[in-house]
Every structure is written in C-alpha cells, then in structure tokens.
C-alpha cells in the first residue's frame, strides 16, 4: 500500500479509532524504512504523480511477530488486572 491507502485502511479497520494525519504517518514510515523493517518502491500512478508503496521486509515480519506477542502479553496482563478474561 502507499501512505494514503494505509491511513484509509487503518481508519476503516478500526472504525475511526486509529486516524493518522499524513504528517504523522510519513515520518513513521520513513523511520521503519531506515531501520530496514519496510521497503519502499516508487510506482507510477494513473491519476497523478508516482506513489511510494511500502511492504514489510523479512526483518519487518519478524519484528511484527515479536510486537504482536508483546502486545498480547500486555493486553492479557491488563485484562487480568481488571478481572476480565481475554477472548
């Protein structure tokens, strides 16, 4: 996806809870690209200037799995502290 597609997808998938401004998202994408967790590729656009599309690198996939596991442990701990069982 390119940046604006990412913003739109996140907004739709989270019912508007995650609604990033372009000025917030692009610095994050550049940081992830610099860390070699994302790879960017410029592609022509039929309706405007070229767009930069991003994909996870193998290192990015590994980091995603680590972060998912970390988030699950954190969310489980919060739910346990609140006396709720996670689904």
Sign of the four-CA dihedral 35, 60, 68, 19 = positive
Nearest to 29 by CA among 58, 65, 54, 10: 54
- At 9-67, the pLDDT tens digits run 999 999 999 999 989 999 999 999 999 999 999 999 999 999 999 999 999 999 999 99
What is the distance in angstroms between the CA of the first residue and the CA of the last residue of the chain? 30
pLDDT for res 84: 87
pLDDT for res 85: 75
Res. 87: pLDDT tops 70:
no
Res. 86: pLDDT tops 90:
no
Strand partners, 38: 56
Nearest to 24 by CA among 3, 54, 53, 42: 3
**Prediction pTM value:** 0.81
């Amino acid at each position: 996806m390119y940046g604006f597609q990412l913003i739109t997808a996140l907004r739709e998938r989270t019912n508007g809870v995650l609604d990033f401004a372009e000025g917030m998202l692009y610095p994050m994408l550049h940081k992830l690209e610099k860390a070699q967790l994302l790879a960017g590729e410029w592609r022509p656009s039929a309706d405007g200037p070229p767009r930069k599309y991003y994909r996870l690198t193998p290192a990015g996939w590994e980091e995603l799995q680590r972060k998912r596991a970390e988030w699950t442990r954190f969310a489980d701990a919060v739910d346990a502290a609140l006396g709720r069982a996670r689904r």
